[in-house]
Chains A and B, each alone.
Chain A
Amino acid sequence: MAMSGLTDLMTMAKPNEALKARIIALLARGPDMCLQCGRCTSGCTAFRLLELKPHEIVCSAKMGFVEELVSSKSIWDCALCLKCAERCPQEVSPYELILSLRNEAISKGLEIPEALRDILMTLMETGLAFKPKKAVDREGKAYGREELGLPALRTGLSEQALMALMELLGGA
């Protein structure tokens, strides 16, 4: 949809169609079919708590005002509960769009949550997002898998999978 003549009169920003195309390229359910009915926002978990408005995010993305979204703090408020994607009558998934915007923000170095940094380190090290550890019961006693009658399980990613993963992460 060519909207290059648009100007946001609040900020004088112009749409960035190239960035928009990149952000939505992978999405199964991109923003272009949005009718602005607002069903996503009316059911949104983070709207009630943090005033996240998914229909506004979808609207801005559809019009190509994507840089503003990438650098906004609000994309990090999404609870990823999928109610928006469930409710949308147009098969748009604000959930997917928000994730893609987060991907862009991280690859630009604008933001990376501390917890996510830790998970990435653990993933590279162990092939799992959280390190395997003993189970601790309510009295504080720790049990290994064997003590609980559970089989030892091999975990981790193969060398080739780790390489492929790093390539995908590096290419973003």
Chain B
Amino acid sequence: MPGLAVFWGCRVLSGDVALELSVRKVLETLGVDITDLEPQSCCGEPIRSLNLTASCYLALRILALSASKGYNEVLMPCSKGYFMANWSLDMLSRSGELSEAISKAFSSEGLSLDRLSRPIDLVELVYRAVGPEGLRNKVEKPLGLRVALHPGCYFMRSKPGTGEGLRKLAELRELLSAVGVEAPYYPGMMDCCGGSLWLTRQDAALTLAGSKLKAASESGLDCLVVLCPSCFEMLDARQEDALSAVGEKKGVPVLYLPQLLGLALGIDPAELGLRFNRSPVEELSVVR
């Protein structure tokens, strides 16, 4: 699939390399080419509370920049970036005022709202490029895990009210099943990790993350699996604080989806950036 740009986003570029390393390695193994979109800039997500027009401008500018370089689609492995792109497109289609303001902001760079790349996420890409069958054929190490999947708000609700989330979740489960991973429902599965609340109410955000970790522990499943770097930050990097916010001690291994896929594809754990996970991933025999 030539001509696919990739937008990594600020969290990845500010040191969360586990996602970038594992996405690159998995796509390489599956024979999917990606080209880094340059220059990488803010997707607007962190400034939504400050100014809606400016945050939509930043998100749409990534799609316009990508299109101006000839890419029909742009992969957004960060769920927040992916959501911002989809939500800004929804806002644009319903608000003439927004469209006018952004067209004006685009004009100095010769960008246009008529030429935008389509945002896609990792699940859609893998599903379309190889599908569950293609993935199954490439498995070197069937994982035999039962995981607590945390789809996350911005993957599940990238197009709220359309039923898109459930369709995406079904595709994700098919991919997981292809690599020998079962992702059953557990209480709290659809709950928020608190990532976006961190900006304004840190204690409450940690309580949400802690509740999620507790739910995963109590489900008796092997580990938590996340897609989004914001969820990863709350559940992995801040795990100690999140656990103490809800009076828990027992750590929960947290893996990125592409790390899990990579392990099944027989990729060396070191190449999947597992040394950058703070949670006790060594508890999983597939990692050792």
Contact = CB atoms under 8 A, between A and B. Distances in A.
Interface of A: 25-29, 45-46, 49-50, 76-83, 85-86, 88, 91, 93, 95-96, 99-100, 102-103, 106-107, 112-113, 115-116, 119-120, 123, 127-139, 143, 145, 148, 150-151, 153-158, 160-161, 163-165, 167-169, 172
A127 B41 contact: yes
A143 B20 CA distance: 14
Given A135-B15, A148-B21, A164-B105, A99 B49 contact: yes
B82 to A, nearest CB: 13
B105 to A, nearest CB: 4
A26 B205 CA distance: 28
Given A25-B97, A28-B94, A116-B49, A134 B15 contact: yes
A45 B191 contact: yes
B46 interface: yes
B90 A28 contact: yes
Given A26-B95, A26-B97, A130-B10, A161 B198 contact: no
A76 B36 CA distance: 35
19 contacts: A28-B95, A45-B208, A49-B208, A78-B197, A79-B194, A79-B204, A79-B208, A86-B160, A115-B200, A116-B50, A130-B14, A132-B14, A145-B17, A148-B17, A155-B41, A161-B41, A161-B61, A165-B57, A167-B105
B192 interface: yes
B14 A81 contact: no
B242 to A, nearest CB: 14
A99 B48 contact: yes
Contacts of A138: 275-278
Given A45-B192, A164-B57, A154 B40 contact: yes
Interface of B: 8, 10-11, 13-17, 20-21, 24, 36, 38-42, 45-54, 57-58, 61, 90-91, 93-95, 97-98, 101, 104-106, 108-109, 153-154, 156-157, 160-161, 165, 190-192, 194, 196-201, 204-205, 207-208, 273, 275-278
Name the prevailing secondary structure of the B interface residues.
helix
Q: Which of B54, B95, B199 has the most CB of A within 10 A?
A: B54
Contacts of B11: 130
A91 B165 CA distance: 16
A158 B109 contact: yes
Contacts of A119: 46-47, 199
Contact of B204 (A27, A49, A164): A49
Contacts of B161: 85-86, 88, 91
A128 B49 contact: no
Given A128-B41, A158-B39, 15 more contacts: A28-B94, A77-B200, A79-B208, A82-B157, A86-B157, A91-B161, A103-B49, A129-B10, A133-B15, A135-B276, A150-B24, A155-B40, A161-B41, A164-B106, A169-B54
Contacts of B41: 127-128, 155-157, 161
B39 A120 contact: no
Nearest to A164: B105
Nearest to B165: A86
Contacts of B197: 45-46, 77-80
A123 B49 contact: no
Nearest to B196: A80
Contacts of A164: 57, 104-106, 108-109
